[in-house]
Amino acid sequence: GGNDGSTGKSASAKEDFVLSGNLAGDGSSTVAPIMEALVEEYAQAEKDVKVSVGVSGTGGGFEKFIAGETDFSNASRPIKDEEKEKLDDAGVEYTELKIAFDGLTIVVNKENDWAKNLTVEDIEKMWVEDGTTKKWSDIDPSWPEEEIIFYAPGTDSGTYDYFNEVILQDSDLVKSATLSEDDNVLVTGIKGDKNAIGFFGYAYYDANKDSLNAVSINDIEPNSKTIESGEYEPFSRPLFVYVSNAALKEKEALRNFMDFVIDNSAEMADAVGYVRLPVTEYDEAKKQLDSVK
Amino acid sequence: MDNNLLIKTNRRIVKDSIMKWLFGTASFLLIVLIAFLFYGIGADGVGRLNLSLFTNFGSRFPEQAGLKAALVGTLSLMAVVIPVSMFIGICSAIYLEEYAVKNKWTAFIEMNISNLAGVPSVVFGLLGLTVFSRALFLGNSILAAGLTMSVLILPIIIVASQEAIRSVPDNLREASYGMGATKWQTITQVIMPSSIGSILTGSILSFSRAIGETAPLIVLGIPVIIQFLPTGPLSTFTALPMQIYDWAKRPQPEFADVASAGIIVLLVILVTMNAFAIYFRNKAMKKLQN
Amino acid sequence: MSSIQPSEKMRTRDVIAAAKKRERFGKLVPHILLVVTSLTVLATLGIVYTLLKETFIFFTHINVSDFVFGTEWAPFSNGSPAFGVLPLLIGTLKIALVALLIAVPVGLACAIFLSEYASPKVKKIIKPIIELLAGIPTIVYGFFALTFVTPFLQTLIPSLKLFNALSAGIVVGIMILPMIVSLSEDALSAVPATFREGAYALGSTRFETAIKVVIPAAVSGIASSIILAASRAVGETMIVSLAAGSTPAFNLDLTGSIQTMTSYIVQVATGDAGYGTTIYYSIYAVGFMLFLFTFLMNRTALYVKTKFREDY
Amino acid sequence: MTLIKDRKEKIGLHVMKNENWKKPVYETNGLNVWYGTSHALKNIDLTINEKEVTAIIGPSGCGKSTYLKTLNRMVETARDVHISGNVTFMGNAILGKAMPVELLRSKVGMVFQKPNPFPKSIYENVAFGPRIHGIRNKVMLDVIVEDSLRKAALWDEVKDRLHKSAYGLSGGQQQRLCIARCLAIDPEVILMDEPTSALDPVSTHKVEELIATIKNDVTIAIVTHNMQQASRISDRTAFFLNGEIVECDRTSTLFSTPEDSRTNDYINGRFG
Amino acid sequence: MTLIKDRKEKIGLHVMKNENWKKPVYETNGLNVWYGTSHALKNIDLTINEKEVTAIIGPSGCGKSTYLKTLNRMVETARDVHISGNVTFMGNAILGKAMPVELLRSKVGMVFQKPNPFPKSIYENVAFGPRIHGIRNKVMLDVIVEDSLRKAALWDEVKDRLHKSAYGLSGGQQQRLCIARCLAIDPEVILMDEPTSALDPVSTHKVEELIATIKNDVTIAIVTHNMQQASRISDRTAFFLNGEIVECDRTSTLFSTPEDSRTNDYINGRFG
Ligand SMILES: Nc1ncnc2c1ncn2[C@@H]1O[C@H](COP(=O)(O)OP(=O)(O)OP(=O)(O)O)[C@@H](O)[C@H]1O
Ligand SMILES: Nc1ncnc2c1ncn2[C@@H]1O[C@H](COP(=O)(O)OP(=O)(O)OP(=O)(O)O)[C@@H](O)[C@H]1O
Ligand SMILES: [Mg+2]
Ligand SMILES: [Mg+2]
């Protein structure tokens, strides 16, 4: 438990007091890289505030958040109704903060010189299970008559959830797809197979640009600009931090840290391969934070 | 010489040599495999083995990422695991070997220990989460993880200690009792000094298991993003295998090298511990060799 | 000699007083130790309680027989989530089977070599190295499987998927090897030297002695070592999570991605599934299943070891 | 030797006034010992006299060791042992709860067939007994260790390496060390179970000499398979067979004119 | 008996024509054996003659077992053993690579101090040797098993439970079973290392009788610590001390008029 009391003004005799305390967060591993960057920077600024962040997944994070074990929870999807209910039951009030976009990127093998662009409908046709074996030529007759090899994030991931929401719409994913919780594994898989296609977070594409091709969606190519502007639609999803109001009121350090998060998320998102939100979103978040008094 | 017998015997000897060669090759292959494994895992990480790996906390920059928190965390974890598991383990072994009368309860305890030894580590994680983290309000502290790991290796320590105590020759016990020593005196002054070497051997091997176990830590939800060192047993922390697991999942390929470097560090710790275990074993064996 | 008279060495009064004091303490000791020893029972109770509590809730959502006999495991499916545990069970068995196919022959060969052929010097070198293998964290093995074994096997079997039961099974086999080697070697070494002497003196070769005398005499120990190793393979988590994939498969194919009971637990523990959902409770049900499974295997090992022990 | 006399008077459990030559130390009446269902000792009646050497002979498995171990109740450390009958030590019944075994054993030393020094230094081996009986004083321990090693005729051989491991000693030296270890607790009786059967001729000779010396101060019961040894060193000899006493008499009598033909057969090597 | 004779003629390693009474089976010249640095046998010269019983006596640790085990090269199974010198068996050098140990041992049986039957049935124990030497034929095996058990004077006691575990037998029966197991490979020589020291008087007697019978067919070398046994059953006796041979002579001569005073001391029980 890292939520033992934080004493903001212990050195109140001095003018510039030193913040201290323990802050605990947990949640999505997708949010982890940006969170790590933020924590790393914050540790330089406030040496005595000890922030620890786990990566138990969005659900696991909420579980702890509900139990009152954490001060904030990272999520790669919006909170679910079940979780809301449990939070209500536990009497935990929270504030939802958006901190960055993760561009969900559809990628193909470097040697794939045909699939440069796909429409949302194409994607749907490819990825929804309908009992047939899918070939590239099914999408466009000029494309090779070879079986498509699918790679996708594990079904228990926020990325998958999001894909589900925008593409599958509660139909099932192609059964032949190779699923992995580890996105690096997907990268490796797609690199190794000419007929492969897959999707994962933009950060993983960003780190492997040299060896993978990203597919444009409806002629919009994924890059930080198109994602930030929302043009790369509907494949950019927001990443969230849920913070406990009670803890915010109680812990000076938490408020300080959250301010830091809002102020620096844009920069850190760029740094670790995510995409910053429009400035207005951060201002909105700031307002929300300030309203918790 | 009788030719027939000679030929038959020679044929049997050839068969024996073939089998020896076969068995020997199997053993040799195993060794090669280990070398291969070490090389395969470690090769990528050698480049990242520098001082900053040990003095830095985790970082978003692969070249700056370090193990400081994980290393200290693992050491702190062991600071809980070693005394707790050894105390309970040795006490149990002494009880079972020296005091227990064969009744249903001790038979049940023995059965229970052997079963516990076979419980998958991930299940121990679930135990730790429910009992230590939640019911005892220890959260994901060093203490919670330490107790979980202690329970996990406890059966190994008990069994190893039981064997060590059993291998103390009876004539030493006889000598001690014959002098009028009580049971407890015999245990503390004869049996323990004679068996502590082997007990340490078994314990060290089980500690190396505790150092490398990942699944229970994952289930406990041990954090990986930490920029500070633990301050006490109730502090949150991270541990080597968690850190390695996390790095290995990062998008940037450079992090894979950092993970490899972390694995090298972990393996070096294990090899060192095994070396100590072997040292203690040899010493213990020498001690009882009369 | 010093001025102290040896006559003062030990007086009966002191001896009796000291003996009484020790006796009082001595009587307490076994009780204290018994309490400490009983903590292990508490640990088991803790495990059973932990698992059962949430498993019961799970079974208020899902029918027991649907769980135990169901052939589809699709907890995240949007249309029709299914919680039939058999695919996980089959995945687990595939891993254990491949692992045993690797570990039993190699392990026994190695154990026989060490106990019957190797000189003490060679044994003294090889045994610690093999023990080292036992100490390597399974997460390390997991990466080994994924980055080394699978690519290598793919050159032999082109149809092999990136995640597959085969390479995970092989590496689990390597992981349990030291267990088989060391326990079987113990069993072989425990066969009294007089049996070997008897056989050698009749002109048997080492191989004949091993096959006809030593192994039959140690068969219960060897069998129990195999069962214990199998139970370890069943409970193995990280190798499988990293290298075998996470696609529950109800088939007998070894080249494709599978999911085991353990890797499902880790998947949910690190994944984004909602707290309080059926998925959340399902990991306890699977955990309980796993616990029962390994429990039965350990009981069997113990039974084999004691029931079929040759009394020499 | 007067030193020892002094101590003895102060310690005696049960002080006997008339120093009769045949004062019994141990009296055994109708002793039966079972290991589980196997009847190892059957109705043994035997008296062991003070400051005599009593030899116990008999073929393997006849119960010699069992009898000896009953005398200091070590026999009870085996599993599933049942004892009936009566054994008194200096007039006190030793079986049952009457006397704590630790007390009995601090009055009765035992030396085993295989020398069994502890894996400790020579000094620590000898000091072990006094220490467990509560003597902490370093000077006193030094005195006891030296005294005991001298009496065991070992002092000169080991005085320069008191703090080296006892396992560095030869088998014969180890056995004498075990005797010294016994002497350090200043026992009334020393029980010896084939103490020389693992020793070479020279060491055997030394131990036999030692027995001859210490029997002036200590009562000795010795099990041996060597008939000549029994006749050389003992005052009285008891012949055991199949868990029973066939004959017990003055050694010279038993070896020259045994009453029982089985005794005769045994001492003439016709079996065993 | 004729069965055996027949077989013997077919197999005989080194056929000797003149059936001289003193034909040597084993000749040992300048044999030295070291265990690591400890010199267990020093310059042994000894001849073992055909169809005689040669007894080897001496105190514990003098090298008796080591010598016996050199004769079938079992000594090499110990760690770190060095051997020099020359030993011939029926004229063939047995040390070094010249003769495979398996061949030597199929001509030389061995019986150990503690009976060591395999954890198999009585039948399987006796059939073990013939089987590994390639005899598969059931009828032939039956004949060999019965023949060997008869010669070991055990047939009548076990014929109704041939397929029961050998562990159901008493110690004495087990020892005779081990002798039968040896006889089944039809050896030229049987080496016996204190074969009766773990047996009761009656069993000892039976084994001694058995030795007296089979010595008509087989050469026997026996280690014993029982001087009377040596004098009862052996033709020649060798006295070992500290790894050396002190004396070797006809048994009657050695026991009545030993040349060496140490022999005299030993056989009169002055040590050991
Ligand atoms: N701990 C034990 N459990 C069961 N039986 C035992 C035990 N110790 C001895 N016996 C049996 O009791 C009988 C007497 O044994 P004991 O050791 O007293 O014989 P012994 O005369 O000392 O023989 P040896 O000369 O071989 O030492 C033997 O039959 C033996 O097998
Ligand atoms: N395997 C071994 N390793 C090292 N030393 C040994 C080994 N076997 C015997 N020795 C030593 O060699 C010497 C001769 O031993 P051996 O067994 O031949 O004596 P023995 O005459 O048969 O004695 P016993 O009557 O006790 O059986 C002894 O000092 C013994 O300690
Ligand atoms: Mg005895
Ligand atoms: Mg011997």
CATH class of segment(s) B51-289:
mainly alpha
Residue with tokens 């994070």: A61
Tokens of E211: 């030795």
Q: What total number of domains does chain E contain?
A: 1
Give C131's pLDDT tier (boundaries 50, 70, 90). confident
User: What pLDDT, on the 0 to 100 scale, is given for residue A15?
Assistant: 42
Residues C220, C304 contacting (CB under 8 angstroms): yes
Residues C164, C252 contacting (CB under 8 angstroms): no
Tokens of D158: 């080991």
Which residues does E contribute to its contact with C (CB < 8 Å)? 72, 74, 77, 79, 101-106, 109-110, 112, 114, 116-120, 128-129, 132-133, 167, 178, 181-182, 185
Residues E105, C200 contacting (CB under 8 angstroms): yes
User: What pLDDT, on the 0 to 100 scale, is given for residue D272?
Assistant: 58
Q: What is the dihedral of CA D36, D41, D47, D51, to 10 degrees?
A: -70
Give A254's pLDDT tier (boundaries 50, 70, 90). very high
- Residue D139 domain-assigned (yes or no): yes
Residue D212 maps to which CATH number? Answer: 3.40.50.300
Radius of gyration of chain D (CA): 18
Q: CA end-to-end span of chain C, whole Å?
A: 55
- Residue D119 domain-assigned (yes or no): yes
Question: Does residue D34 have its Cβ closer than 6 Å to ligand 1?
Answer: no
Looking at the predicted structure, is the pLDDT value of residue A2 above 50? no
User: What pLDDT, on the 0 to 100 scale, is given for residue E3?
Assistant: 43
Torsion over CA: C67, C70, C73, C75 (sign): negative
Mean of the per-residue pLDDT values for chain E? 86
Instruction: Report the alpha-carbon distance of residue D242 to residue B193 in Å, rounded.
Output: 39
pLDDT tens readout for residues A69-93: 899 999 988 888 888 988 999 898 9
Which atom of ligand 2 is nearest to E62's Cα? Answer: 21
Give D108's pLDDT tier (boundaries 50, 70, 90). very high
- Residue D31 domain-assigned (yes or no): no
User: What pLDDT, on the 0 to 100 scale, is given for residue D155?
Assistant: 93
**Which of D32, D33, D35 for mutating ligand 1's site (highest number of atoms within 8 Å of CB)?**
D35
**What string of DSSP letters covers C79-94?**
S--EE--HHHHHHHHH
What are the backbone angles phi and psi of residue A68, rounded to the nearest 5°?
80, 15
Burial classification of residue C79, based on how many CB atoms lie within 10 Å of its CB (0-12 exposed, 13-18 middle, 19 or more buried): exposed
Instruction: Report the alpha-carbon distance of residue E209 to residue A1 in Å, rounded.
Output: 84
Q: Which of C76, C161, C275 sits opposite A155 (nearest CB)?
A: C76
Q: What is the dihedral of CA A164, A169, A172, A173, to 10 degrees?
A: -40
- Residue E9 domain-assigned (yes or no): no
Torsion over CA: D136, D139, D142, D147 (sign): negative
Instruction: Report the alpha-carbon distance of residue E255 to residue E236 in Å, rounded.
Output: 10
User: What pLDDT, on the 0 to 100 scale, is given for residue B71?
Assistant: 94
Torsion over CA: C210, C213, C217, C219 (sign): positive
Instruction: Report the alpha-carbon distance of residue B12 to residue C205 in Å, rounded.
Output: 7
Looking at the predicted structure, is the pLDDT value of residue B90 above 50? yes
**Which of E33, E35, E271 for mutating ligand 2's site (highest number of atoms within 8 Å of CB)?**
E35
What are the backbone angles phi and psi of residue E93, rounded to the nearest 5°?
-65, 130
A150-159, C110-119, C153-162: lowest mean pLDDT where? A150-159
Ramachandran bin of B15, using left for φ above 0, alpha for ψ from -120 to 50, beta for the remaining angles: alpha
Q: Is there a contact between A1 and B221 if contact means CB atoms under 8 Å apart? A: no
**Strand, helix or coil for residue A99:** strand
Q: Is there a contact between B92 and C40 if contact means CB atoms under 8 Å apart? A: yes
Looking at the predicted structure, is the pLDDT value of residue D177 above 80? yes
Residues B67, B264 contacting (CB under 8 angstroms): no
User: What pLDDT, on the 0 to 100 scale, is given for residue A8?
Assistant: 40
Residue type, C92: T
Domain residues for D198? 51-62+98-268
Smallest CA–CA distance, residue B260 to chain A, in Å, is 15
pLDDT tens readout for residues D129-146: 999 888 889 999 999 999
Looking at the predicted structure, is the pLDDT value of residue C85 above 60? yes
- Residue E194 domain-assigned (yes or no): yes
What would the mean pLDDT of D245-267 be, rounded to a whole number? 90
**Strand, helix or coil for residue C304:** helix
Beta-bridged to residue D81, according to DSSP, are D35
Residue percentage of chain A with pLDDT more than 70: 94
Looking at the predicted structure, is the pLDDT value of residue C127 above 70? yes
- Residue E3 domain-assigned (yes or no): no
Q: Domain C73-307 carries which CATH code?
A: 1.10.3720.10
| Interface residue D244 vs chain E (CB under 8 A) | no
Give C311's pLDDT tier (boundaries 50, 70, 90). low
| Helices A57-66 & A81-90 angle (0-180, nearest 10) | 20
Torsion over CA: A77, A80, A86, A92 (sign): positive
3-state secondary structure A116-155: CEECHHHHHHHHECCCCCCEHHHHCCCCCCCECEEEEECC
**Strand, helix or coil for residue D238:** strand
Radius of gyration of chain A (CA): 21
Residue type, B250: R
What are the backbone angles phi and psi of residue B122, rounded to the nearest 5°?
-65, -30
Ramachandran bin of D90, using left for φ above 0, alpha for ψ from -120 to 50, beta for the remaining angles: left
Ramachandran bin of D186, using left for φ above 0, alpha for ψ from -120 to 50, beta for the remaining angles: left
Looking at the predicted structure, is the pLDDT value of residue E37 above 70? yes
Instruction: Report the alpha-carbon distance of residue D5 to residue D12 in Å, rounded.
Output: 11
Beta-bridged to residue A213, according to DSSP, are A108
User: What pLDDT, on the 0 to 100 scale, is given for residue E20?
Assistant: 46
User: What pLDDT, on the 0 to 100 scale, is given for residue A4?
Assistant: 43
Q: Is there a contact between C5 and D13 if contact means CB atoms under 8 Å apart? A: no
What would the mean pLDDT of B59-71 be, rounded to a whole number? 89
User: What pLDDT, on the 0 to 100 scale, is given for residue C256?
Assistant: 84
Looking at the predicted structure, is the pLDDT value of residue A37 above 80? yes
What would the mean pLDDT of C276-294 be, rounded to a whole number? 89
Residues D179, D196 contacting (CB under 8 angstroms): no
Q: If you average pLDDT over each of B247-256, D173-182, E166-175, which comes out highest?
A: D173-182
What would the mean pLDDT of C238-246 be, rounded to a whole number? 86
Instruction: Report the alpha-carbon distance of residue C302 to residue C231 in Å, rounded.
Output: 12
Question: Does residue D2 have its Cβ closer than 6 Å to ligand 1?
Answer: no
User: What pLDDT, on the 0 to 100 scale, is given for residue D9?
Assistant: 43
pTM (two decimals): 0.83
Q: Is there a contact between B5 and E103 if contact means CB atoms under 8 Å apart? A: yes
Looking at the predicted structure, is the pLDDT value of residue A288 above 60? yes
A68-72, C26-30, D171-175, E184-188: lowest mean pLDDT where? C26-30
| Helices E122-132 & E138-151 angle (0-180, nearest 10) | 120
Q: Could you give the residue ranges of the DSSP H alpha helices within chain A?
A: 32-45, 57-66, 81-90, 120-127, 136-139, 158-163, 183-191, 202-207, 224-229, 245-250, 252-272, 279-291
pLDDT tens readout for residues B5-56: 788 888 888 999 999 999 999 888 888 888 888 887 778 888 888 888 899 8
Measured in whole angstroms, the distance separating CA C285 from the mean position of its chain's CA atoms is: 21
D10-19, D22-31, E19-28: lowest mean pLDDT where? D10-19
User: What pLDDT, on the 0 to 100 scale, is given for residue E134?
Assistant: 86
User: What pLDDT, on the 0 to 100 scale, is given for residue E21?
Assistant: 55
What would the mean pLDDT of C1-18 be, rounded to a whole number? 51
What are the backbone angles phi and psi of residue C124, rounded to the nearest 5°?
-65, -25
Q: If you average pLDDT over each of A42-46, C249-253, E235-239, which comes out highest?
A: E235-239
Distance D198 CA to ligand 1 centre (A): 18
Looking at the predicted structure, is the pLDDT value of residue D121 above 70? yes
**What string of DSSP letters covers E89-135?**
ETTEE-STTSS-HHHHHHHEEEE-SS----SSBHHHHHHHHHHHTT-
Distance E112 CA to ligand 4 centre (A): 9
Residue with tokens 């190794």: A192
Question: Does residue D114 have its Cβ closer than 6 Å to ligand 1?
Answer: no
H or E segment to which residue A199 belongs: strand A196-201
**Which of E32, E33, E34, E38 for mutating ligand 2's site (highest number of atoms within 8 Å of CB)?**
E38
Residues C150, C160 contacting (CB under 8 angstroms): yes
Give CB contacts under 8 A, 24+ apart, made by D142-150.
Answer: D142/C2, D143/C1, D143/C2, D143/C4, D143/C6, D143/C9, D144/C6, D144/C9, D144/D184, D145/D184, D146/C1, D147/C1, D147/C6, D147/D3, D147/D183, D147/D184, D148/D180, D148/D181, D148/D183, D148/D184, D149/D122, D149/D177, D149/D180
User: What pLDDT, on the 0 to 100 scale, is given for residue A10?
Assistant: 40
User: What pLDDT, on the 0 to 100 scale, is given for residue A59?
Assistant: 82
Smallest CA–CA distance, residue C30 to chain D, in Å, is 16
A152-166, D52-66, D111-125: lowest mean pLDDT where? A152-166
| Interface residue B125 vs chain C (CB under 8 A) | yes
Instruction: Report the alpha-carbon distance of residue E127 to residue E104 in Å, rounded.
Output: 19
Segments making up each domain of chain B, as ranges: 2-48, 51-289
User: What pLDDT, on the 0 to 100 scale, is given for residue C14?
Assistant: 64
- Residue D91 domain-assigned (yes or no): no
Q: Helix (H) and strand (E) counts for chain C?
A: 13, 2
Looking at the predicted structure, is the pLDDT value of residue C12 above 60? no
Give C13's pLDDT tier (boundaries 50, 70, 90). low
ipTM of the shown complex: 0.80
